[in-house]
């Protein structure tokens, strides 16, 4: 029949959601659910995670004493209390007055940026945590040895919406 030759058929294909398309859509080196914390499910169409809610909690610990001329190493722990994954997590630790950053004894993702040590980037699913060691050299000083106190605070930020920002910093 000649009339059948005049008919055309168009097939419409739908692109898969970003979290199941096999492409690193946000350029973070992580592809799709479950590898990418920005994805909440394979059906999620936003791999960036910028619309996620993630409560980061930061804690910091270190030695009670350090000898002048020695090195003090702090452990900074950042936990994602959820409910979603979080990406682009940055840990910032201001260098305490009089100390110098010791890159050799610190986590490889940490570097000095001005008067801060910045550790980045990290990505955590809800319930996961990351620990980094940040080391500082304590100067010998001059004159008599008098006890002193080192105050040090670390904090974490993320591109996700954090509903409890009050627990993002910890000092020791």
Distance CA 22, CA 132 (A): 31
Rounded Cα–Cα distance for residues 112 and 101 (Å)? 7
Model confidence pLDDT, tens digit, residues 13-35: 678 888 889 988 877 788 888 88
Per-residue pLDDT of 107-142, as tens digits, reads 999 999 999 999 998 989 889 999 999 999 998 876
Distance CA 153, CA 145 (A): 25
**Model-level pTM?**
0.74
Compute the average pLDDT of residues 65-90: 91
């Amino acid at each position: 029949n000649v009339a059948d030759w005049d008919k055309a058929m168009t097939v419409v294909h739908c692109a898969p959601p970003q979290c199941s398309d096999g492409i690193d859509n946000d350029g973070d080196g992580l592809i799709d659910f479950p590898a990418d914390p920005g994805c909440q499910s394979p059906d999620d169409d936003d791999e960036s995670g910028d619309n996620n809610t993630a409560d980061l909690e930061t804690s910091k610990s270190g030695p009670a004493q350090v000898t002048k001329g020695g090195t003090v190493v702090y452990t900074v722990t950042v936990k994602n209390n959820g409910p979603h994954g979080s990406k682009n997590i940055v840990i910032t630790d201001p260098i305490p007055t009089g100390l110098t950053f010791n890159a050799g004894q610190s986590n490889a993702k940490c570097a000095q940026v001005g008067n801060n040590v910045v550790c980045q980037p990290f990505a955590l699913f809800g319930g996961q945590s990351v620990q980094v060691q940040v080391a500082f050299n304590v100067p010998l000083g001059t004159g008599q040895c008098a006890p002193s106190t080192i105050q040090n605070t670390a904090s974490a930020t993320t591109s996700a919406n954090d509903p409890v920002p009050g627990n993002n910093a910890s000092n020791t």
